[in-house]
């Protein structure tokens, strides 16, 4: 099985949309419980490319097996902050692909000048939380009843990763 990690491109929009829909419909991980309509999703992917955003795909034998993005937050005062999302289709999990995909996407976000990456993970998603912690993310808070799926509430953790040299930059400016 040949694995490659590469930036999203138009040729993979359909595969990305299908992967998102598969993970969303599991209803255990994401805020979406199904993917947005195709045209809306494709416009969104195009806007990410047009704005130089960080969205990477994991391709197994050329087919989309997952995605990871670090998307900008709104407001000038938060222009250093990106919001991370990730998902792999079930057959691509527990193979080390998530870590590789995240590392490539985080490196791209740092290269764009971001110095803080935030994410939200459901408290019962222990697999994802363990991966985030392995990569240096720290829990900053518990968000109570942050998700509701089929009438059931789930807490989530707010986590963040700071670019290693960001503290140095802040300290040297004091
Ligand atoms: C969360 C997610 C992205 C993690 O990706 P992943 O590839 O499964 O994660 P990792 O790369 O860290 O691998 C996880 C496990 O595989 C093991 N692993 C890593 N490399 C391996 C390899 N080469 N061969 C076998 N196992 C391996 C890891 O040790 C780890 O095992 P553990 O959990 O028992 O300690 C993925 O599981 C996923 O898409 N889940 C559903 C969607 C989701 O939760 N998204 C996040 C929402 S916040």
CB distance 109 to ligand 1 below 6 Å: no
Q: Is 72 helix (H, G, I), strand (E, B) or coil?
A: strand
- Residues of the chain under the 50 pLDDT cut: 166-168, 170-174
The residue ranges of every structural domain in the chain are 3-172
Q: Give the distance (Å) from ligand 1 centre to CA of residue 146.
A: 23
Would you state the pLDDT for residue 173? 46
Q: Give the distance (Å) from ligand 1 centre to CA of residue 173.
A: 39
CB distance 110 to ligand 1 below 6 Å: no
DSSP assigned state of 37 = P
Q: Which residues contact 16 (CB under 8 A, 6 or more apart)?
A: 8, 41, 45, 57, 64, 67
Would you state the pLDDT for residue 69? 98
CATH class of the domain defined by 3-172: alpha beta
Q: Are 64 and 18 in contact (CB under 8 A)?
A: yes
Token code pair at residue 53: 């955003």
Token code pair at residue 91: 């057959």
Predicted model pTM: 0.92
Name the CA dihedral angle for 72, 14, 95, 52, rounded to a multiple of 10 degrees: -30
Would you state the pLDDT for residue 170? 47
Would you state the pLDDT for residue 152? 98
């Amino acid at each position: 099985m040949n694995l490659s990690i590469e930036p999203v491109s138009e040729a993979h929009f359909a595969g990305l949309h299908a992967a998102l829909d598969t993970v969303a419909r599991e209803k255990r991980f994401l805020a979406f419980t199904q993917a947005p309509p195709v045209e809306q999703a494709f416009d969104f992917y195009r806007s990410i490319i047009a704005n130089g955003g960080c969205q990477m795909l994991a391709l197994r034998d050329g087919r989309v097996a997952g995605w990871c993005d670090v998307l900008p937050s709104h407001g000038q005062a938060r222009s250093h902050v990106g919001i991370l999302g990730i998902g792999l289709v079930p057959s691509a999990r527990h193979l080390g692909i998530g870590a590789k995909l995240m590392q490539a996407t985080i490196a791209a976000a740092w290269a764009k000048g971001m110095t803080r990456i935030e994410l939200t993970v459901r408290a019962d998603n222990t697999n994802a939380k363990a991966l985030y912690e392995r990569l240096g993310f720290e829990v900053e808070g518990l968000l109570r009843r942050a998700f509701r799926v089929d009438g059931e509430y789930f807490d989530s953790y707010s986590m963040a990763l700071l670019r290693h040299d960001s503290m140095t930059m802040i300290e040297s400016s004091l």
